Amino acid sequence: MLQLNHISYSVGEGDDRSVIIHDISLTVDEHRLVVLTGPNGGGKTSLAKIIMGLVRPTYGQILWNGRDVTAMSITERARLGISYGFQQPPRFKGLTVRDLLTLASGDKALSKDLCCQYLTKVGLCANDYLEREVDASLSGGEIKRIEIATVLARNSQLMIFDEPEAGIDLWSFARLTESFEQLHQNTDATMLIISHQERIISLADEVIVIDGGRIVCRGTAAEVLPQILGNTKGTCPVLAKEEWRNDTK
């Protein structure tokens, strides 16, 4: 279980001080798929980085399975089963997918069968990918699914993904969404996904809307999506025109 207690984060000093996260507290139970959404610049990625240890909160406490990890390094948190998937996963020329899975697992003798299991869970065939280099020859969708496979190889219990849909085509996005759905159904891991996509939001057990560094709304997808779409219509001329047409019928 993940617990955030009164998390605040600011940058700068004096007149240049900017508050990014304002006193956020939340609890995420085990085996939940939670989506963080909201306007760009609202603080979603900063909060995710605080959980992973990429940045330190100015104030507050982070508990993972009852253990205080607030002052722990990224490496220490990773050893406790916390992982982070970047918006743009790094590429490693000269390093194969097998190498990456082996490093992620910590098992120098990682078998091909296990590699195949990890890749199969994200919709990739081991025979096609194991010996491929993790370089620019891979598409955005492929590299993101390989990153998810490395998260599985680490046996992560808390998986954090920052806008996994960014930079991939419609077909890759569909397969990526299926991967998240299958992971949620077939593993015991807790998943925290930052996303603006309705299809990913609809998979969530809980949706949390963050704006201005604060939680402004939370609930099930069925409860929160109409509010999100309502706010969007208020600022989009195309949707507003469509709504006006429906009202005049």
In SS3 terms, 103-144 reads as HHHCCCCCCHHHHHHHHHHCCCCHHHHCCCEECCCCCHHHHH
Q: How confident is the model at residue 33 (pLDDT cuts 50, 70, 90)?
A: very high
Q: What is the pLDDT of residues 114-157, one digit of tens each?
A: 999 888 878 788 889 999 998 888 888 888 888 888 888 888 89
CB atoms within 10 A of CB 135: 13
CA distance 69 to 216: 26
Predicted confidence at residue 149, as pLDDT, reads 86
Domain 2-88+156-239, second-level architecture: 3-Layer(aba) Sandwich (3.40)
Average pLDDT over residues 38-48: 93
Q: Which of 17, 30, 42 is nearest to 206 (CA)?
A: 30
Residue type at 121 in one-letter notation: K
pTM for this model (two decimals) = 0.82
Taking the domains of the chain in order of start, what are their residue ranges?
A: 2-88+156-239
If you average pLDDT over every residue of the chain, what do you get? Answer: 86
Q: What is the pLDDT of residues 64-114, one digit of tens each?
A: 999 999 999 999 999 999 999 887 778 888 899 999 999 988 888 889 899
DSSP state of 218: E
